[in-house]
Amino acid sequence: MNDAKKQAMSTLKIARGQIEGTIRMIEEDRYCVDISNQIIAAQSLLKKANVLILKQHIEHCVAEAFAEGDGKDKLDEVMAILSKLIDR
């Protein structure tokens, strides 16, 4: 596992803790705005992890595919993911 994947894994584990804490907040009937802020924080962590994974993919898989003369499919995959991120 490379550094980018390790960072993504760590970030996802933090997000998991954030989500579990948010669930407890809802169960405890905490203030809605505080809950919403925690959801936004978890979303931010998920986005950060996704960027790390995509960066790693581009630097390794896509670069390797282009070096082998077959990068278009890999590039199309990345563009499809980016399109999903932008459309949200």
Residue 88 pLDDT exceeds 80: no
pLDDT in tens, 9-46: 999 999 999 999 999 999 999 999 999 999 999 999 99
Question: Quick one: pLDDT band at residue 79, thresholds 50, 70, 90?
Answer: very high
- Taking the domains of the chain in order of start, what are their residue ranges? 3-86
Q: How far apart are CA 23 and CA 44, in angstroms?
A: 17
Is CATH 1.20.58.1000 what the domain over 3-86 is classified as, yes or no?
A: yes
Contact 70, 64 (CB under 8 A): no
